Structure 1
């Protein structure tokens, strides 16, 4: 019984190490393809533009509306709570710190993962199982350049686009929620915005958004490109739950590191 437990532990450690190695290897391959001029031919640009369009446009209006509604609700809750405690001067700054710096980028990354990159990774797994990727190789084409690279770039683009646009919408909604349809508070608002977005916090915010986009773009594709290790569980769509767990773990780790960079 003890030997069986050690064997299961060893196999689990092997699957864990193999899963992370595949993600790192895929990131290196994508970087090489990005730096290769042959990845930007006319047909490759057409595929990339089409993938970006199909991955970003359908989810953009819905998430923007969700971000606007979330911004109004959180702004109202924070302002009313601050009024009751006599902390009105800190209410708007708290809204921007919590909403724009923390919630919106993480929510955008999760939204893109659930609506775009995880289904795209599952579709890539079905193409692999059906032999389509092998057929590309047999015809002399590189399936990584044809199928993988557009999906990764489109997922990263969708995450950055949703985060950037939703942060702008959240800033506008926060202003309207506090000052209303007037320009009387514009100077105070811009001054407070400058106090929040210092160079160090802006750098951390930018890096966090980019790392979120890379995580949601790479990890599901790594799970779809490679067959699961022996003994790994599979979902109904062919995706390994371990791959999804890695994605959420990486997002939480990036968020924790950003909090440390901002407030410690």
Structure 2
């Protein structure tokens, strides 16, 4: 029975390491994605067979100092996202905006709901509205009017523009940021977007640079926080662990074959 258990236990180990490899591959695939946050697979050991209880009576006078507990393997319980700051890279594009600190840009989804992103690669649509690469409107109401000669976005998110022959800059909107008590609880939706969940808590919104929110920097983009060297080291460790679990299955199979020959 123990040999049969070892086959199943090692199989769970191989599945766990395959999941780890999937997460690493996703991280490396997005090493150049603006605002991307690396993920990490989380594991836990499975239920134990309690064959002898620790502290049980060996005799009337003696208690067992240890128990006999046989584990049944491992499973993946989650993928945590690390929200450390990515490096800021100058882009020379006036509509690129990076967050230096905590917070998320807010964008309006097609169904009217709100999504959140760290990707500040923004554009202007035909109506002059600031939008994402997928055409989703950035909340805060920045609209560039016709005839605007230059647009400036301050660290507090206030956007101004010089319009026509008027030398005085006029406010054309502002960018508000949102933050969560547990950003790791946000649900990734693709397109560099996240949505609120019960685990993340409700968002708190505010002006950039206030109430713990980061400042916004015009003409910059936040790079992915994926560390390629770290991912490659983890990849090697994952490969070795996968090979060891595979070897354990082969060894258990050989022991069962030998047992059948007795």
Report TM bin, short chain: under 0.3
Q: Which has the higher helix share?
A: 1
Larger radius of gyration: 2
TM-score normalised to the size of structure 2?
0.22
TM-score normalised to the size of structure 1?
0.22
Q: State the structure with bigger RCO (CA 8 A, min sep 6), 1 or 2.
A: 1
Q: Which has the higher strand share?
A: 2
